[in-house]
Amino acid sequence: MRRLIKSGACIGLVALLSACASVGPDFVKQETELPPGWSQAAEYELDSSAISQPQWWRVFDDPVLNRLVELAWEQNNSLEVAGLRVLESRAQLGIAQGNQYPQSQLAAGNGTYTSPANNAGGGSNFWTYGIGASASWEIDFWGRFRRGIESADAAYLSSIAARDQALILLTAQLVNTYTAIRINEEQLRISHENIKIQQRSYDITSVLFRNGSDSELDMQQAHTLLLSTQASIPGFEIALKQALNALNTLLGKTRGTYDAMLAEDLGIPTLPENIEVGIPADLLRRRPDVRQAELNALAQNARVGFAQADLYPSFSITGSLGLVAGGAGGTDFGDLFSSDALTFSIGPSFVWPFLNYGRIRNNVRVQDARLQQALVNYREVVLQSAREVEDAMIAFNGSQKQVEILDKTVISAKRSNELSVLRYREGFSDYQRVLDSQQALFSQQQRLVTQRGTSVSSLVALYRALGGGWENQTDLPLVSEQSRELMEARTNWGKLLEEDIPVKANDEADHETPEGE
């Protein structure tokens, strides 16, 4: 009993000492240099008030697009992989949390039959039996394991930010793909309209040539223009089919699965009248890649302390409790459970790799260099984020101006075509004017459609740079129901598959870690 009291006192002393502060630097939130407002917002008449519609794709007011985004969130394979990485990080966090408790716990038993050799003195044969358990607990004296939990927790939150970023990129890619489909549909419509116009002109020149009222040159030129326009059709059809393939792939399905949803041609998405962009400081909250960069730095900061703990001795408590019986005295298995069979051991120990300081210190330097890389990378991500927003504003404004000019150009080209055909029929001009006007009309209409699509893509790039869209996905599961069933059939996942993504993780880096199993 006296030995047990002494051992318990040692354990209590070491456990008390384990409450000391963790070695290594505490993370300092990085100061960011961002301007108070966007330099391009006022010039381009963009609204600098807070963004009131986080689901930015809804500003296009396209019900088909809205439904496609919902399906992509539910079914996209790359997004599910990002969700599985969150589960992986959560399990890694559970491992780190488990290191706070006895790291080694073993139960063992044995039964051994021994027959001594006659030329070694002989003796009777006998059995020995044993059963027991042992445990070893390295006390977290220097905060090594607390730093490990800190690093794993930051890595867990970083994986959530990475999934949020994947959600943004997926949404932007889907909107761009949908826009490409509508652009090619519009290009096909315009091509068929111009083919009708040019077919009528070709028919007129053919009749005039056959009647001897016009030269063959006019007829051949009209035919050339008609064939040239017809040749554009296969290219647009190819692009349309490829865009449909890309859309179905983004939705996690094979070709043709969702083509019926696009049967109604709603046209190229219409740009909203008011575009809210917020202020630069909002990037630190809205852009997941900025949060991810900061969380990566936080995780690496903890690894510096984890490495520094190797400079100091580690203290452990090791104990075992068991029952032993047997030997040449003729005992049997039943003697294993008698009071005389009890055996135990307990006591503290320490390990100090004092001759490896060069290796340990260099490992600390490695981790510290990686920390500084992560901090510099965070500053770079912030700067690049701000630049992306400014560039997207410039591109959007430029594309809008081009659309306005091309709108007027198409109206002028239509009127020019009408006048050229009228003057040709009345004999006031040659057919070359008709050819030039019809060619210009088709070209300007194509440019307008392409530029309208570019304007939509520029706005998508702006919203992507602003980083929103992930906020309203708290009900979105990390994995699909099919994956969940397969994983539960293979492995005991406990409650991890049912855990919600921490809401706090979307806004702050100081997430309170949930308890592991």
Please give the distance of CA 422 from its chain centroid, rounded to a whole number.
59
Q: What is the pLDDT of residue 330?
A: 61
Give the pTM: 0.84
**pLDDT per residue of the chain (517 residues) written in tens, 0 to 9:** 455 445 554 555 545 554 567 888 888 888 887 878 887 776 667 777 777 777 889 999 999 999 999 999 999 999 999 999 999 999 999 989 888 888 888 899 888 888 777 776 556 777 888 898 988 888 888 888 899 999 999 999 999 999 999 999 999 999 999 999 999 999 999 999 999 988 988 888 888 888 877 778 888 888 999 999 999 999 999 999 999 999 999 999 888 778 788 887 788 999 888 888 888 888 888 889 999 999 999 999 999 999 999 888 888 889 888 888 876 666 666 777 776 788 888 888 888 887 777 888 999 999 999 999 999 999 999 999 999 998 998 999 999 899 999 999 999 999 998 888 888 777 777 788 888 888 999 999 999 999 999 999 999 999 999 887 777 776 788 888 898 889 988 998 888 887 767 654 444 444 444 444 4
Residues spanned by the domain of 236: 56-100+142-276+284-312+357-389+464-506
* CA distance linking residue 249 with residue 256, whole number of Å: 10
Q: What is the pLDDT of residue 474?
A: 66
DSSP H helical segments within 119-215, as ranges?
144-210
* CA distance linking residue 407 with residue 448, whole number of Å: 7
* CA distance linking residue 431 with residue 443, whole number of Å: 18
Domain count, the chain: 1
* CA distance linking residue 128 with residue 122, whole number of Å: 17
Give me the residues paired with residue 111 across strands: 129
Tell me whether strands 314-326 and 126-139 are parallel, antiparallel or unpaired. Answer: antiparallel
**CA dihedral of 213, 215, 220, 222, whole degrees rounded to 10:** -50
* CA distance linking residue 182 with residue 171, whole number of Å: 17
Domain annotation covers residue 338:
no
Gyration radius (Cα) of the chain, Å? 37
Domain annotation covers residue 471:
yes
* CA distance linking residue 345 with residue 192, whole number of Å: 91
Q: Which of 8, 515, 505, 59 is nearest to 291 (CA)?
A: 505
Domain annotation covers residue 136:
no
Q: What is the pLDDT of residue 457?
A: 94
DSSP 127-146: EEEEEEEEEEEEE-TTSHHH
Q: Are 324 and 344 in contact (CB under 8 A)?
A: no
Q: Assign residue 301 the CATH number of its domain.
A: 1.20.1600.10
Residue carrying the six token digits 């017809």:
230
| Three-class DSSP category at 508 | coil
Domain annotation covers residue 401:
no
Q: What is the pLDDT of residue 364?
A: 93
Q: How far is CA 4 from CA 9, 10, 13, 18, 76, in A?
A: 9, 10, 14, 21, 60
Q: What is the pLDDT of residue 2?
A: 54
Q: How far is CA 376 from CA 155, 219, 292, 368, in A?
A: 18, 68, 13, 12
Torsions phi, psi for 253 (to 5 deg): -130, 170
Q: Which of 282, 267, 254 is nearest to 468 (CA)?
A: 282
Torsions phi, psi for 138 (to 5 deg): -85, 115
Helix, strand, coil in percent for the chain, rounding step 5? 65, 10, 25
| Three-class DSSP category at 20 | coil
What is the token pair recorded at 168?
């943004």
Domain annotation covers residue 321:
no
Residue carrying the six token digits 């318990």:
8
Domain annotation covers residue 185:
yes
Domain annotation covers residue 245:
yes
What is the token pair recorded at 418?
């009408």
Please give the distance of CA 230 from its chain centroid, rounded to a whole number.
43
